[in-house]
Amino acid sequence: MKFFRSHVLVGINETSLQAGVQDFIKALRNELAKQNLQEEINVLETGPLGFFGRGVCLSVFPENVNYQDVKVEDVPELVEEHFLKGRPLSRLQLDSAGKFTPKFNYDKRIVLRNSGIIDPESIDEYIGAGGYEALEKALLQMKPADIIAEVKKSGLKGRGGAGFPTGVKWSFTAPLDAPQKYIVVNADEGEPGTFKDRLIMEGDPHQLLEGIMIAARAVGATKAWIYIRGEYKLCIERLQKAIAQCKEYGLLGKNILESGFDLDIDIRIGAGAYVCGEETALIESLEGNRGNPRWKPPFPGVKGLWQAPTVVNNVETLANVPFIIKNGADVYLSYGSEGCPGTKVYTILGDVAHPGLCEVDMGTTLRTIINEYAGGMKKGFRFKAALVGGAAGVFLPEKMLDVQMDFPHLNEYAAVLGSGAILVLNEHQSVVDMLWSILKFFRHESCGKCAPCRNGCQQLYRLITKIKKGNGTMEDVDLMVSIAQTMFSTSFCALGQSPIMAVRSAVDHFKDEFIEITKK
Amino acid sequence: MKTLADLKKIREKAQEDMKLRGGKVRIKIVVGMGTSGIAMGAREVMKTFLEEISNRNLTDVLVTQTGEKGLSSMEPVVDLIEEGKAKVTYGNMNPEKVKKVVVEHIVNGRIVSDYVVATGD
């Protein structure tokens, strides 16, 4: 076979035929012969080239340069520049700058690697895509202690918000001698603007189930509950289907894969209380009580559901587990940043060109996420701030666009990583207005169990309403920060401890706006 | 199924099925049926595909569903997968566009570039 140093692929389709591709090919071959390159460069006629341009399109390999709208009269210049001198002719190169090409980084995904590829309602497709291999390994080749050691080594941190190391959490529950232990999956995704768990559950429900099975094996639980938000009809439907398929295949029930391991998974539907995302309130709700948080300690890992040792994990956390067990902790450690391995799923909303979701390495900057995965800002708008993490989140100003998004780098703001919601505001949006709606939300969602949160949320709302109307003073702004700080120190659960993040970041980074509005 | 051997069998079979081998399925249509997709009319899109395919008696086409890819702003999103060719992703689909894609792409093998949002994976 003759060796060509370069191959030119010419796309033959309706468009290029109309543009006279046959004449073009003739001219190209003649010109190559004239320059005595016909032995070095191969011209091939092919179908679609994998991109879409105007007129005659070419792909040149091995350098993978794409041209569009090339005419017969361009041939001498093209041959001389590109094939003789080796400089791509930028004048005709396919201009991809104007058009946003969505980026599917499937090779870099962990929890969403199957979403958008396999049929979520088919267990066979999940198995075909390598599913339940981790379960095999966990049940038949590994001891529970090995599983915990592997998860510890992987450095997986809880994706619910607090970022507590998952392996460590499991190791509290595993050694306890109890007649019954439980796994509870926190799928009560109530943070405004967040829908990453929804995507995981509806795109790949079996992955979550596999994660639950491995977690249950590791800590010795035989019953798992998925506490899911009631609005997630599609997730509930698909999870129910997935559980039924697992039972049919013997992956749930008694003596799974002849390993002597029993497990049953049930779904419980939440009624839309924000506080029930807090693990102890969630447990109360599961037990059939009013969703109020419990005193800690004892932590749920020791005394949780019906006083039995209970591991409460977020959906995304558990969805990471099969990957870690199947590929080993070392592979997992190659994802993400130092001190914070793995990936993170973000949902991007607001004034960006293409709102949606993405899964990127931990430590990716906000700028990269917005520009590469959401197509940048909406046309004609400038970036002002991003509310990261929903209501219990922080406002990040422009100067923080290049901060790495991981637990060590966001330090005091790290709690917002959990929800992964990114709400982008343009320069015309008011941070005061946003803060008002956040505090209104907190006032509505405070469960009322403890005084700092019950009264504090009310007062915060009163103050921000006053400021928003233009009747406030800078003293009111300071008072707001002080109340939120007191709530942070004295509230019973994470709900009352959260408003400080939004309040402080808004006042710190957008002080001018508060000064402006209080002057009126 | 009870044992590891059974699971392995299922895995091998599923992997074969997913490869579009056997010559029975020439083209696979994958409709994104996540919440965003459904909200934007993915069910209608899927229904139209099924209707068009049965009207034309196309027996070598498979229609299936999947979750979201991350293109919420371009839903409903549909992938067309053919053996040995780059995957083509159509965005912002509706029943009218589906009819055109069936005629142009599936029957005549010409990609409708106006609706394409991405190629490859």
pLDDT digits (tens, 9 = 90+) for B32-61: 998 889 999 999 999 999 999 989 888 888
A202 contacts on B by Cβ (under 8 Å): 34-35, 67-68
- The encoded tokens of residue B116 equal 């394409």
Nearest Cα residue to A57 out of A7, A6, A9? A9
* Overall size of chain B counted in residues: 121
Domain A6-84 has CATH 3.40.30.20: no
Q: Which residue of A has its CA nearest to B74?
A: A354
Q: At what angle do helices A205-219 and A144-154 cross, to 10 degrees?
A: 120
As a whole number of angstroms, the distance between CA A346 and CA A353 comes to 16
Q: What tens-digit pLDDT sequence spans chain A (520 residues)?
A: 467 777 788 877 767 777 888 888 898 888 888 888 888 888 877 766 656 567 788 878 776 677 878 888 888 888 888 888 877 777 777 654 445 666 678 888 999 988 888 889 999 989 988 999 999 999 999 999 999 999 999 999 888 877 889 999 999 999 999 999 999 999 998 888 888 899 899 889 999 999 999 999 999 999 999 999 999 999 999 999 999 999 999 999 999 998 999 999 999 999 889 999 899 999 999 999 999 999 888 999 999 999 999 999 999 999 999 999 999 999 999 998 887 899 999 999 999 988 888 899 988 999 999 988 888 888 888 999 999 988 888 899 998 888 888 887 876 666 567 788 999 999 999 999 999 999 999 999 999 999 999 999 999 999 999 999 999 999 999 999 999 999 999 999 989 999 999 999 999 999 999 999 998 7
Contact A98, A125 (CB under 8 A): no
Q: Can you tell me which residue has the tokens 């390159």?
A: A37
From the CB of residue A214, how many other CB atoms can be counted at a distance below 10 Å? 27
CA A423 to chain centre: 13
Q: Which residue of B has its CA nearest to A201?
A: B67
pLDDT band at B2 (very low <50, low <70, confident <90, very high): low
As a whole number of angstroms, the distance between CA A464 and CA A334 comes to 45
> Helix, strand or coil for residue A230?
coil
A356 contacts on B by Cβ (under 8 Å): 68, 70-73
Would the CA dihedral through A345, A351, A352, A354 be positive or negative? positive
CB burial readout A399-419, b (16+ within 10 A) else e: ebbeebbbbebbeebbbbbbb
Distances (CA, A) of A421 to A100, A293, A388: 22, 24, 6
Among A119, A204, A259, the strongest candidate for a mutation testing the B interface, having the largest count of B CBs within 10 A, is: A119
Torsion angle in degrees (nearest 10) through CA of A275, A279, A281, A287: 140
Shortest Cα distance, chain B CAs vs residue A58, angstroms: 16
Contact B111, B105 (CB under 8 A): yes
Cβ-in-10-Å burial (0-12, 13-18, 19+) of A266 comes to exposed
Class of domain A340-426: alpha beta
Among B1, B3, B6, B18, the strongest candidate for a mutation testing the A interface, having the largest count of A CBs within 10 A, is: B18
Q: Which residue of B has its CA nearest to A131?
A: B11
Class of domain A106-333: alpha beta
Contact A66, A59 (CB under 8 A): yes
**Beta-carbon separation of A52 and B116 below 8 A:** yes
The CATH code that applies to domain B24-119 is 3.40.30.10
CB burial readout A333-342, b (16+ within 10 A) else e: bebbbeebbb
For A431-519, CATH number out of 1.20.1440.230, 1.10.260.40, 3.30.530.20, 2.60.120.590 equals 1.20.1440.230
Q: What are phi and psi of A100, to 5 degrees?
A: -80, 120
For residue A73, what is the DSSP state? G
Whether A106-333 and A6-84 are alike in CATH topology: the answer is: no
**Beta-carbon separation of A356 and B71 below 8 A:** yes
> Helix, strand or coil for residue A410?
helix
> Helix, strand or coil for residue B52?
helix
**Beta-carbon separation of A199 and B67 below 8 A:** yes
Shortest Cα distance, chain A CAs vs residue B38, angstroms: 10
Q: Which residue of B has its CA nearest to A374?
A: B71
B108 contacts on A by Cβ (under 8 Å): none
B34 contacts on A by Cβ (under 8 Å): 115, 199, 202-203, 234
- The encoded tokens of residue A118 equal 């396999």
Domain ranges of chain A: 6-84, 106-333, 340-426, 431-519
**Beta-carbon separation of B34 and A234 below 8 A:** yes
H-state helical runs in A74-132? 75-78, 123-128
Q: At what angle do helices A205-219 and A315-327 cross, to 10 degrees?
A: 80
**Beta-carbon separation of B117 and A102 below 8 A:** yes
